[in-house]
Structure 1
Amino acid sequence: MQVSWMRQLTRSSRQGSHGQGLYLFLAAVRLQAGIRGTVDPCPGAVPTALRACTHLADAASGRLIHALVLTRPILASDAVVATALLDMYAKCGLVDSARKVFDEMPSRRDLVVWNVLLACYARHGLPEHALALVVKMRGLGLCPDLVTWNVAVSGFALAGDDQMAGDLVGAMEEDGFLPDVVTWTSRVSGSVLNFQYGRARGLFRRMVAGGARVLPSSATISTILPAFSNVADMKRGKEVHGYSVVAGVEQELTVSSALVDMYAKCGLVLEARRLFDRMPLRSTVTWNSMIFGLANSGHCQEAVDLFDRMLRDGANPDHLTFTAVLTACSYGGMVEVGKGLYRAMQEEYGVEPRLEHYACVVHLLGRAGRLAEAYDFIKAMPLEPDRFVWGALLGACRSHGDIELAELAASRLLDVEPDNAASCLLLSSALASTGKQNDVFRIKKLVKRRRLKKLDGCSWLEASQ
């Protein structure tokens, strides 16, 4: 029975059926019932079950397996089991538990173990801990490898400290390791994630200028493209697109999805749609980018039609998908369609509404002039309305001249953002449109007395180089 059970468990893991494999393991050892099961797992089975927990982000089951390990000396002393436990906790975001497993390991001479914990620190915004671990490694006579250095660099890059990341690259070179594509991609990714787009583009240019020694990969290209779409720098964005064609990676899912997103955000919807239609495979992210692009460019009915096609193709919509399609309904004045999609989101697809969905519905109703319904919707919300929800109502009241409700929305908006004068200025505009100049002066005095500041608008201008 043990051999047959192990074969089934291994087969499930190889086929990617992690839920089935985990169920098979838990049922066989009877962990959930707290009693001894029909199978006493061998050391080889436990890492397989822990990998399933990692893929499923099921830390609760991982803790149950950890408890089993502690009751079996043969498992507790197995280095592979300990490494799998460490990896499971690290990738599930349980940093303290990962460190505890690391500290209790009988032997830590394997560099893989150190790199797992380093990656955990880097991934969860603790680059100083990662660097301290590298120092400790050296103190114990362990030499960092290329993976170690790349993990340390990525930690500081993700934290937005590219100066330290660059210093570590220098130390890495002194240690005999040349930066590879992972090193460069980590720094580019960190800059993009921290909205330091100019630096990201500079790093990418340096990488390309380095010649054939380190060529950008599909991961690098998909990472750098948001640095162009967010500033509408189409000239250089198209150059990267051309590079992806020459490199033969344009049709890779991550690259083609990033290209669709870039063109859609820059307003080139037809170009985005041509790329989208040529894609052999599409992820939910790809569908979302295209639906958002159509909605924001005024092609609202086309966005809703694309959402319907997404469902017919068997793709799974997520919370961003519904934000996109509800935005399309709002801009297109499709109130009943939007309300139906909002209900279906919860009842058919199990997506719990977030604040952005509530704001979309308020915007949808408000633009259509259904202000009382919008306000009733806000009062029924299970979450505390944020500035986007109250702002959507205030903007609608201004457009439709409902001063009484506008004053209420403005007061709520001031409660949420007491230092922002935007709500008072919107209310002032609404009052002015109805000729209530005395009230306008009263609002302006309030802004001056409370020293409120309007958040400045801004735009990106790319300096010629």
Structure 2
Amino acid sequence: MPRRDGGSWNAIISASSRAGHPAEMFSLFADMNSLGIRPKDVTLASVLACCAECLDLRGAQQLHDARWAFDGILQPNDISWNVIIRRYLLAGMGDMAVHMFFRMVWAGVRPLVYTVTHAMLACWDNGALKEGRCIHTFVLRHGYEHHIHVRSSVVDMYAKCGDIDAAQRLFNLAPKKDVVMSTSVVSGLAACGRIADAKRLFDGMEQHNLVSWNAMLTGYVKSMDLTGALDLFQQMRHEIKELDVVTLGSVLNACTGLLDLGKGEELHALALKCGLFSYPVMMNAFVRLYSKCGCLRNAERLLLFEMGSERDRFSWNSLISGYERHSMSEAALHALREMQSEAKPSQSTFSSALAACANIFLLNHGKQIHAYMIRNGKGDYGLELFDEMRKQGIRPDSVTFLGALVSCICEGHVGLGRSYFTLMTDEYSIVPRIEHYECMIELLGKHGYMVELEDFVDHMPFEPTTAIWLRIFDCCREYGNRKLGERAAQRINDSKPLTPVIFVESTPDYECSGSDDAEPMPFC
């Protein structure tokens, strides 16, 4: 075409998106922008949807592109809002999905039915009961409760966020109870240990699906009614032929708890027959069964020869625990040394290793393990202590929150860290200090949350220090955020450093395979 106006560019870009050619679509969109032609809202919506389809291929960068495309829409419609909310949900960023839902409502856009269900799903996925209740209020005020999918998602949210009484009350009031809603309440009752109530509702269901069977099996195992779990599995096998990894995993846990090696071997054969044995979670479960039952040769064969690169610290922990339990302490310590080259030991590993040292009077080895434990404090354990402290009504101070944020950085809990930062001011009226802002910069930047990092920097109540800009600069180089990276470079150079910086995106060093996490123990 001798002349290409905005209409022709918009048409070809939309067509490429609909045809499933994301690379071509992105190329055309870049060419259009380079010529200074402004895309229409429909074009940006097409780009946004295409980013969504490519999310699993290009990860966080695609999500960043999707948000950039969305922010370029002057007046996003209900479909555009639905796409960006769903993208955040699929990316495991439920807090951002909920945040965008509230922004949509505040903007005066009426959500689609599926947008409401996505927001509810994000709430239970993120444990956001307070936000879920707000959305439920919105549902009631705007007439969404008549949609069966919305009603089911509300019940599901309450059940999975732990408010099972609210879930059961809504379930009882529902004019129509489908299998999805019934399964949600069964799962919630079973998860909180109300097995009798769950079984009563389960028996009253007109039909059972695999999810409802699995919910009951999991509930029996969690409540330690292991014989009941095996009996229910026999009933299930008579009614349906379908099963999955969750089914076998629950029954296998029951066999392990009962030390029923014979039944476990039958499940091993069934897993092979159904093609489910190759899943890492299943192989880990069988290593645990054989280790705990004293069939250590089988456990070794599975872990060393069949699992290969799929083995992780849980596999090693099961084997090490089995060795220690069955008086093979030297083998336990040898397995610990082998484990160090592949996985980082956990609290369970150290418990078994120290018990093994005690069994054969290896005091020096025990001291070395103790020293290693001191050098590596556990972030998740710190967060458990923080939650327990709050449950007991003890008021945390700014130092406590600082420790919690550091733990979130170590363990990669970005959403939790953001919640704690908000909790400081909203619930405890603690004014964040510069150390807290430094932690949030580190948390978002280290784990690649570039959009959120830029937004956080923009809303800081003070100008970041040069040290903070340097950390932002490094994160932007690593994750390719040119806009914020160049801004950071300008701020750093304005401080007149001895060596000025220039923003150049870093490239991965594929020759380096080492890791600080792989530090060997002194006796290795």
The reply to whether residue 170 of structure 1 matches residue 103 of structure 2 is: yes
Q: Is the alpha carbon distance of 1:429 and 1:262 closer, same or farther for their aligned partners in structure 2, counting shifts above 3 Å?
A: same
SS at match of 1:280: coil
Superposition deviation, residue 277 in structure 1: 1.6
SS at match of 1:282: coil
Q: Is the alpha carbon distance of 1:95 and 1:388 closer, same or farther for their aligned partners in structure 2, counting shifts above 3 Å?
A: farther
Superposition deviation, residue 382 in structure 1: 4.1
Superposition deviation, residue 413 in structure 1: 3.3
The reply to whether residue 364 of structure 1 matches residue 277 of structure 2 is: no
Q: 1:146 aligns with which of 78, 82, 94?
A: 78
Q: Is the alpha carbon distance of 1:157 and 1:355 closer, same or farther for their aligned partners in structure 2, counting shifts above 3 Å?
A: closer
Do the aligned residues in 1 keep the contact of 2:317 with 2:348 (CA within 8 Å)?
Answer: no
Q: 1:240 aligns with which of 146, 167, 170?
A: 167
The reply to whether residue 453 of structure 1 matches residue 377 of structure 2 is: yes
* Aligned counterparts of 1:328 and 1:185: Cα–Cα separation in 2: 35
Q: Is the alpha carbon distance of 1:165 and 1:379 closer, same or farther for their aligned partners in structure 2, counting shifts above 3 Å?
A: closer
Match of 1:387?
A: 313
Equivalenced residues, count: 365
Q: Is the alpha carbon distance of 1:352 and 1:424 closer, same or farther for their aligned partners in structure 2, counting shifts above 3 Å?
A: closer
Do the aligned residues in 1 keep the contact of 2:155 with 2:171 (CA within 8 Å)?
Answer: no
Match of 2:476?
A: none
Match of 1:29?
A: none
Q: Is the alpha carbon distance of 1:319 and 1:170 closer, same or farther for their aligned partners in structure 2, counting shifts above 3 Å?
A: closer
Superposition deviation, residue 237 in structure 1: 1.7
1:212 maps to a residue whose letter is: R
The reply to whether residue 290 of structure 1 matches residue 224 of structure 2 is: no
Match of 2:142?
A: 213
- Which whole-Å deviations, capped at 9, do the CAs of 1:296-355 have from their partners, x for residues lacking one? 3223233233333333323421222222222222112221221122112222x2324222
Match of 1:121?
A: 51
Match of 2:191?
A: 265
The reply to whether residue 204 of structure 1 matches residue 132 of structure 2 is: yes
Q: Is the alpha carbon distance of 1:164 and 1:293 closer, same or farther for their aligned partners in structure 2, counting shifts above 3 Å?
A: closer
Superposition deviation, residue 378 in structure 1: 2.4
Do the aligned residues in 2 keep the contact of 1:208 with 1:215 (CA within 8 Å)?
Answer: no
Q: Is the alpha carbon distance of 1:98 and 1:177 closer, same or farther for their aligned partners in structure 2, counting shifts above 3 Å?
A: same
* Aligned counterparts of 1:446 and 1:153: Cα–Cα separation in 2: 47
Do the aligned residues in 2 keep the contact of 1:394 with 1:410 (CA within 8 Å)?
Answer: yes
* Aligned counterparts of 2:154 and 2:136: Cα–Cα separation in 1: 12
Match of 2:432?
A: none
Q: Is the alpha carbon distance of 1:208 and 1:129 closer, same or farther for their aligned partners in structure 2, counting shifts above 3 Å?
A: same
SS at match of 2:341: helix
Q: Is the alpha carbon distance of 1:370 and 1:245 closer, same or farther for their aligned partners in structure 2, counting shifts above 3 Å?
A: same
* Aligned counterparts of 1:298 and 1:279: Cα–Cα separation in 2: 24
The reply to whether residue 186 of structure 1 matches residue 118 of structure 2 is: yes
Do the aligned residues in 1 keep the contact of 2:117 with 2:149 (CA within 8 Å)?
Answer: yes
* Aligned counterparts of 1:397 and 1:154: Cα–Cα separation in 2: 47
- Which whole-Å deviations, capped at 9, do the CAs of 1:158-206 have from their partners, x for residues lacking one? 54274586367436654x523455444323322433xx31xx2112211
The answer for unaligned runs of 5 or more in structure 2 is 1-12, 32-38, 394-426, 428-524
Superposition deviation, residue 116 in structure 1: 6.6
* Aligned counterparts of 2:97 and 2:248: Cα–Cα separation in 1: 40
More relative contact order, 1 or 2 (CA 8 Å, 6+ apart): 2
Superposition deviation, residue 151 in structure 1: 2.0
Match of 2:483?
A: none
SS at match of 2:340: helix
More off after superposition, 327-336 vs 441-450: 441-450
1:315-334 alignment runs, 5 A limit = 315-334=241-260
TM-score between both structures, scaled by the size of structure 2: 0.58
Superposition deviation, residue 242 in structure 1: 0.7
TM-score between both structures, scaled by the size of structure 1: 0.65
Superposition deviation, residue 134 in structure 1: 3.9
RMSD: 4.1
Do the aligned residues in 2 keep the contact of 1:225 with 1:262 (CA within 8 Å)?
Answer: no
* Aligned counterparts of 2:252 and 2:211: Cα–Cα separation in 1: 16
Q: Is the alpha carbon distance of 1:167 and 1:202 closer, same or farther for their aligned partners in structure 2, counting shifts above 3 Å?
A: same
Match of 1:41?
A: none
SS at match of 1:415: coil
* Aligned counterparts of 1:280 and 1:87: Cα–Cα separation in 2: 41
Q: Is the alpha carbon distance of 1:404 and 1:218 closer, same or farther for their aligned partners in structure 2, counting shifts above 3 Å?
A: farther
SS at match of 1:326: helix
- Which whole-Å deviations, capped at 9, do the CAs of 1:121-177 have from their partners, x for residues lacking one? 346364433344345665xxxx64322222223333554274586367436654x52
* Aligned counterparts of 1:413 and 1:192: Cα–Cα separation in 2: 36
* Aligned counterparts of 2:324 and 2:156: Cα–Cα separation in 1: 35
